[in-house]
Chain A
């Protein structure tokens, strides 16, 4: 975990145009910020997790890193070179070093290609000089622990876990330095989730990959990520070492997310921070601290003044009143 970062994201913003009804030209913004200025870096052999609920902008950020979504401000630097705003041909050179995995294990595999074709697609795209496709298929399938006879199967003949393995094999085919995985355990059974996470952990170690994992499942984050960022309305509200955040969440939103993860233990006392209301619309971002509409600790200043980002022991936080250890909300507020 040393040397220059593989990926540096600096102040990245992603905006989407909004279709406005012609008769209502005032009041609402022309565009919304799906990602509103985030910065982080990932080093070789390190896993960084982006955590947030739906609409937090985590998937948009992943797409922006890969150039699938244009970046409207800030910069993305990959292996020391700026890659935001590159044309398709230049981006193609970087894409062989940067692999993406998508949410749906089966839906992210082209339905009429065989597993053999799928795992070697990178070679067909980026050139396969001197490569023996059969040998490559065998190498990749064995790396992800699938028998060779799977090469002739089609995606619909695979279980979720098997399809996910194929997705992993596809991602690592060209020996990338960075893997961006969007919800790698989504749609998988509990008994299979561990398999996929173990596989990703193994490969990261063996191949020295840098990984970005995007998920809403905090339990997964704890076991795979070295550092994590919690996203809310397109911004990072808390960033830091995974262990530290788990043992002592400082932002109320992080604390609420952690407490909102039911554990399979019927005897466990539920000391839960309930968040009132729902995530605000990006069209109408709240004033001040954007979390104040749901924050049980919100005070007057939170409604008016956006909190500055503060750093403390490697932890970056945007909150006026960070939580102390084991602090609980002043009152329980229901749904």
Chain B
């Protein structure tokens, strides 16, 4: 994997973002929420590496702490989606036919909601919050994940080694855990890693629209929104919000593509 230049770039970018988020408190030169009216719209410099925003908050510190939110939402909600999608997919694929049909109906119904509509509907229910973002991401991701697992489970259900395990008296749980899951999870992990940038974009997008994280909590989307509102006064706020989003999504995309090539060499160069 380290032989792929894109993979190395992807890993480096992801590491950069992760380290920045993990050591945010240590690296940040100031409190990300501290308002300082005297320092409004300071341009980037020694004191404020990325400048300050309309309330005089240090943008560099806000970006670092925003990374924590972005990664927590992305990784957390992806992990939960994976888990739910995996379980539902295994049930649909291995369980009785009627249950499969029912679950497929549910997946299709969920998939047919446009993301934005879904987000708006949930925000009216929960109010703008991190929870709303996470629930949106889960609802968007689960049907796709479950379908992938379901299809592969159906294909493997009649594999000889599965029949062999059944003939030895293995329980359904064991068959699923030992013989099916390890052989179907690979493609899903790759897909999920390529979905992380999408999730980050959803979080940023919802926060940008004011449907996500509540101020003053720093979020890249919220920073971008601040910059957008004050684009006449300063350009650096938009830059501070945009650059991390671009770098993170690029990083995870490269990483995902490299993972796919490594795990499935047949797709290489296609």
Residue numbers of A with Cβ under 8 A of B are 66, 68, 88, 91-92, 95-96, 99-100, 102-104, 107-113, 121-122, 124-126, 170
Q: A112 CA to B180 CA in the complex, in Å?
A: 10
A108-B161, A111-B161 as given contacts; A95 in contact with B179, CB under 8 Å: no
Least distance between A117 CB and chain B CB atoms (Å): 8
Bitwise interface map of B from 164 to 192 toward A, beta carbon under 8 Å scored 1, else 0: 11111111001000110011000000000
Q: How far is the CA of A66 from the CA of B160 in the complex (A)?
A: 14
- CB within 8 A of B167: which of A88, A95, A107, A124? A95
Q: Which of A66, A110, A121 has the most CB of B within 10 A?
A: A110
Indicate which residue in B163, B170, B182 contacts A125 across the interface (CB closer than 8 Å): B170
Q: Which of B168, B174, B178 contacts A95 (CB 8 A)?
A: B168
Of all chain B residues, the one with the shortest Cβ separation from A94 is B169
Q: Which residues of B contact A66 (CB under 8 A)?
A: 167
Other A-B pairs, 20, CB within 8 Å; known A125-B168, A125-B169: A66-B167, A68-B163, A68-B166, A68-B167, A95-B167, A95-B168, A99-B168, A100-B168, A102-B160, A107-B161, A109-B164, A110-B161, A110-B164, A110-B179, A110-B183, A121-B165, A121-B170, A125-B170, A125-B171, A170-B168
Question: Contacts of B167 on A, CB cut-off 8 Å?
Answer: 66, 68, 95, 99-100, 102
- A96 to chain B: closest residue by CB: B169
- Selected from A91, A104, A112, A170, the residue in CB contact (under 8 A) with B169 is A91
Tell yes or no: B106 within 8 A of A by CB: no
- Tell me whether B169 and A100 are in contact (CB under 8 A): no
Interface residues of B (CB under 8 A from A): 159-161, 163-171, 174, 178-179, 182-183
CA distance A95 to B169 in the complex (A): 6
| A121 contacts B169, C-beta separation under 8 Å | no
A-B pairs with lowest CB-CB distance, top 6? A95-B169, A92-B169, A100-B167, A108-B160, A112-B182, A110-B161
Residues of B contacting A124 in the complex (Cβ-Cβ under 8 angstroms)? 174
B164 touches A102 (CB 8 A): yes
Q: How far is the CA of A112 from the CA of B163 in the complex (A)?
A: 16
Q: Determine if A100 and B160 form an interchain contact, defined as CB atoms under 8 angstroms apart.
A: no
Measured between beta carbons, the chain B residues less than 8 angstroms from A111 are: 161, 183
- Give the secondary structure class of B's interface: helix
Q: Is the CB of B164 within 8 A of A122?
A: no
- When the two chains form the complex, which single residue of B164, B174, B182 contacts A108, counting CB atoms closer than 8 Å? B164
CA of A59 to CA of B183 in the docked complex: distance in angstroms?
Answer: 26
A107 touches B169 (CB 8 A): no
Chain B residues within 8 Å of A103, by CB: 160
Chain A residues with Cβ below 8 Å from B170 are 121, 125
Q: Nearest B residue to A100 by beta-carbon distance?
A: B167
Given contacts A110-B179, A113-B178, contact A104 B168 (CB under 8 A): no
- CB-CB under 8 A from B171, the residues of chain A are 88, 125
A121 and B160 contact, CB distance less than 8 A: no
Complex: chain A residue closest to B174, CB-CB:
A125
State the CA gap A100–B170 with chains docked (Å): 13
Bound CA–CA A126/B169 (angstroms): 8
Contact among A109, A112, A122 with B168 in the assembled complex (CB-CB below 8 Å): A122
Smallest CB gap from B170: residue in A: A125
A260 to B218 alpha-carbon distance, docked (Å): 80
Alpha-carbon distance between A102 and B164 when the two chains are bound, in angstroms: 7
7 interchain pairs, CB-CB under 8 A: A66-B167, A99-B168, A109-B164, A110-B183, A113-B178, A125-B171, A126-B169
Q: Once bound together, how far apart are the Cα atoms of A100 and B168, in whole Å? A: 8
Q: Which residues of A contact B160 (CB under 8 A)?
A: 102-104, 107-108
Residues of A near B168 (CB, < 8 A) are: 95-96, 99-100, 121-122, 125, 170
CA distance A205 to B207 in the complex (A): 74
A126 to B163, CA, bound (A): 17
How near does chain A come to B101, taking the closest CB pair, in angstroms?
16
A81 to chain B minimum Cβ distance, whole angstroms, is 16
- A118 closest partner in B (C-beta): B161
Given the complex, which residues of A lie within 8 Å of B169, measured CB to CB?
91-92, 95-96, 125-126
Which residues of chain A come closer than 8 Å to B166, judged between CB atoms? 68
User: A125-B170, A125-B174 given as contacts; is B165 within 8 A of A110 (CB)?
Assistant: yes
Chain B, Cβ-Cβ closest to A92? B169
- Would you call B179 and A102 a contact (CB within 8 A)? no
CA distance A88 to B172 in the complex (A): 10
